[in-house]
Amino acid sequence: MTDVPLDPLVALRPWEAPEVTSWGRLPMNAVDRRRGALPLDGDWRFELLSAPHAPVGGAWSSAYVPGVWTLQDTDDLPQYTNVRMPFPDIPPHSPAANPTGVYEREVDVPAEWAGRRIVLQVGAAESVLLVHVDGRPVGVSKDSHLAAEFDLTGLVRPGSSATVRLTVVKWSDASHVEDQDQWWHGGITRSVLLYATDPLHLADVTVRARRSGELRVDCRVRDAGGALPAGWYLTGELDGEPLAQDAEFDRANAEDERVSDFLGEARLGTTVPEVRTWNAETPELYDLTVRLHRADGTVADTSRHRIGFRDVEIVGRDLLVNGERVFIRGVNRHDFHPLTGRTVSYDDMRADLVLLKRFGFNAVRTSHYPGDPALYDLADELGLYVVDEADIESHDHAHEIADDPRYLNAFVDRVSRMVLRDKNHPSVIIWSLGNESDYGANHDAAAGWVRRHDTTRPVQYEGAAKLDWAATDDASDIACPMYAPLEDCVAHALSGEQTRPLIQCEYSHAMGNSNGTLADHWAAIEATPGLQGGFIWEFWDHGILQRVSDGRPVGRGGAGLYDNGVAAPGHRWAYGGDFGETIHDGAFIADGVVFPDRTPKPAMYEHREIAAPVRIECYRHEGIVLGNHQHFRGLDWLAGEWRLDLADGTTLSGPAELPRLCPGETAAVPLPFAVPQDGGEAWLTLRVTVAEDQPWAPRGTEVCVPQIRLRGPDPVEVEAPVARRAEVDGEGLLVHPLLTAAPTLSLWRAPTDNDELGGMAQRWRAWGLDALVRKVVSVREEAGRVTVEAEYAGTTGVVRHRQVLTPVEGGVRVDEEAELPAAFDDVARVGTVWETVAGLDLLEWFGQGPWESYPDRSTGAPVGHHAVPVDELFTPYLRPQESGGRHGVRRFTLSAPDATGLSVTLDEPRQVSVTRYRAGDLALAGHHDELVPRPGCVVHIDAAHRGLGTASCGPDTSPSYLVAPGIHHWSWTLRVL
């Protein structure tokens, strides 16, 4: 705390002074004060000013705390930028037009708090907070994502009321180091509370709990009245068992007021026999209670903690948890809610982490700022490793700020306060110095503080490590690159030069229809010592629910206006630019593995299968080899069920008895069924579920569905033609009573976000693939078989296409060949597109499913017999694009409720999509409210389909998933049901 007196708000101007991180703010600590506090959440008087110096009191309204004013019906609306600052001013300056929210309310201070120390806690405010009580200045705080506490003891009177005013200035010098890839908001985003302690109180508690069972609890004690009284002492309990006090460390009788600024220190400890260790698979927690006693034995203060015994260390190039090398299957998580923005409730945080656990994630990076304290409690309880990240990102001005001494205090302050608050959480295994802020002396200073203060965890920072993955003298203990090509990671691990773990802080960008090659990535990680995982970008699509009629956000009252990722009629998910802002980065904010309402995207099922705890390793000697791919846990918490699917429609099922396997072990089990001699292709699936209730999943929750093929397909028999003519029109197009658009060649898809931002879509349009012109070259008939030769001309090349239509029993076989010129060296697809009459509303198929899958994202879609209504096949990515595909389809039917319809048999497993939209419909729409479903079905059958990749931010798909020029063959048979 500074001795400089606080001036009135107008004179103080802290939003213009980067060297001022706080005035009057209390030091950060790890003592939990939420119990017994007086909550101040709810409606506050509110006025939004145009600038900090504007007069107050002209137009009071109300605002809900916690909440952002940008989603509470003000004229200051959300704005999304990724790298660019939303204003042109350079650091440390902020714009003159600076929205400033003034929150005010009366607080009744409990009479029983007389003689106690009274503290105001503001959970988070963006970006500068100024506190007044009854018109008197109290303090200032920056750092938008950590709590600020202020001592009000001499400013309020127990038994009476006081007027608390919280002024929040949106833009400041601090905004330049909070330039994260997210919506810009303003407001008080976490809870506000008032609490009281005895003047003699616990100032901090530091817990060190080792996997050996050794426990050390270091406590600091202060007295608000001055010198510590003689005779105070500490006691502690761990799960009800008393802790011993270290007498040599005890300063309870220190009377020298010069010692530690009236700070007393004492240590408690014990060694727990047969300790239950904490890890993400078995998150064992103990209840720790610390009590501070006066000399007469009465309790002055109490702090309660749930602690876990575990060790984190780096040995060579491995990150170890409790001595085990663990894979980090992580995701980056922002605070987000589609109605309340940055304000997230406890229930929402729990739902976030529960969903992640159910889909195989074991780690969270708090991008790019510390989370709410409750998030860490939940991670401790549910079992998730946390990379705790400081609120530092200076993306637009990174190079200047990294070495700017004016920002030195801000860097160290933000990192140190995070560590001081979160140090006792076993879930926190790594400290992060921030994100995308270049690398400079300010980072070295912050890293030095952390390494001195906490020797129990490593430090990481991508900006330091990216200069040299093999360096040993920078501010990062982990090589944590962003979107590094997989081949570069493997090469580094095999080079012999690797000095530290390689765990990507961001990889596999989840924007739109994405996350291609995720399985390839993890196959390489699991096979390559030195590679240990990474964090997908990111958890959420940050779509804000918006009314189409007036373009304004719906706000807190919008619950129930969305379901399964889709906004209700008259509403849509807004992204950058949808609130009238001119500086924005569009749909780049929609890059999560879940939709804004937390509905999982199909990529989540891919990750779930990649992270499966139990897997089918192989099929040999008429048996199956199962493997336990966990690090700490057996399989006893899981149950299983076998299912056998044959191509002819036969299915068999029965219970599975999982073997007793330690982590990393395998065992052979006999086949659960005698596989029928006939029936064609045969697939065995093990459906794995939770055997008993878990904190994150009730009994019966599906965990994974590993699968193996027991028998390949029978040879395809060429059907004999029947004695009739294939019906074609004058252009050689197939005429069929159930088709409204005949089968034609398709080389284009509605560009995904990866296609657009990766540059592929521009090439496709330049080649004219979105508007191919068909020209009939010849139509020949021979014995009822019709051969149609055509050319499809783009802007720069011509594709020769042959279609042979052969009447067969009950339908027509279509054999196709397309020859792509060398210029078309990377197209979206090569296949056939056609449309059906209305009324065919159910798709049933044998192939991969039931959810969406593509050639480079198909591990999570098991082969089987699936049925889904056509209207549910389409995936509503926030910006409409190619979606709804199913990979590896062998055959399918489209039927009406009366079971009439059509069936299609394919020559080999193909990529198929059935939706209500043409590719052109999707490509022209910016939001789903602009789409009009077609009455029939739009059907694509692809001989080849390009992989998805993650090129919107990261590597494109692998070369093996590209569609090359040359000759492509495919065939399919259409019949009427």
Distance CA(206)–CA(447), nearest Å, equals: 19
Quote the tokens at residue 122: 């503001």
CA distances from 114 to 32, 110, 294, 297 (A): 21, 8, 18, 21
Query: What are residue 87's phi and psi, to 5 degrees?
Result: -140, 155
The bridge status of strand 148-151 relative to strand 67-68 is: unpaired
Q: Are the C-beta atoms of 435 and 389 separated by less than 8 Å?
A: yes
Q: How many CB atoms lie within 10 A of CB 725?
A: 12
Paired strand residues for 696: none
**For this structure, is 506 an active site residue?**
yes
Transcribe 918-952 into DSSP letters.
-HHHHHH-SSGGG----SS-EEEEEEEE-----TT
- Give the CA distances from residue 533 to residues 459, 538, 627, in Å, rounded to whole numbers and listed in that order: 17, 15, 20
Q: Enter the tokens of residue 542.
A: 């940050």
- Three-state secondary structure call for residue 108: strand
Q: Which two tokens stand for residue 198?
A: 């005895």
Beta bridge partners of 864: 847
Q: Which of 194, 113, 133, 172 is nearest to 6 (CA)?
A: 133
Q: How is residue 886 written in tokens?
A: 């199913």
Catalytic position from the list 265, 436, 606, 816: 436
Triad 110, 347, 321: Cα angle to 5°: 105
Side chain identity, residue 266: A
Element (H or E) spanning 312, and its range? strand 312-315
Please report the sign of the dihedral spanned by the C-alpha atoms of residue 81, residue 83, residue 89, residue 92: positive
Helical (H) or strand (E) element with 667? strand 666-670
Helix spans in 632-759 (H)? 753-758
Question: What residues contact 844, with CB distance under 8 A and at least 6 apart?
Answer: 865, 866, 867, 892, 893, 895
Q: Which of 126, 462, 506, 852 is catalytic?
A: 506
Cα atoms in the 13 Å half-sphere on the side-chain side of 30: 24
User: For strand 328-332 and strand 363-365, is the pairing parallel, antiparallel, or unpaired?
Assistant: parallel
State CA 485 to chain mean position distance.
Answer: 20
798 forms bridges with which residues in the sheet? Answer: 793
Which helix H or strand E contains 128, and what residues bound it? strand 128-133
Query: What is each CA distance from 537 to 502, 504, 592, in whole angstroms?
Result: 17, 10, 7
CA 36 – CA 194 distance, rounded (Å): 9
Report how far residue 857's alpha carbon sits from residue 818's, in angstroms, rounded to the nearest whole number. 25
Beta bridge partners of residue 563, listed in sequence order: 566
What is the rounded CA–CA span in Å between residue 386 and residue 372? Answer: 13
Structure tokens at 47: 């006025």
Q: Are 581 and 185 in contact (CB under 8 A)?
A: no
DSSP secondary structure of 516-562: TTHHHHHHHHHHSTTEEEEEEE-SBB-PEEEETTT--B-GGGGTTSE
Extract the tokens encoding 862.
Answer: 């098991």
**How many residues in total does the chain contain?**
977
Beta-bridge partner residues of 319: 314
Kindly tell me the burial class for residue 659, based on how many C-beta atoms sit within 10 Å of its own C-beta (0-12, 13-18, 19 or more): middle
Q: Which residues are catalytic?
A: 436, 506
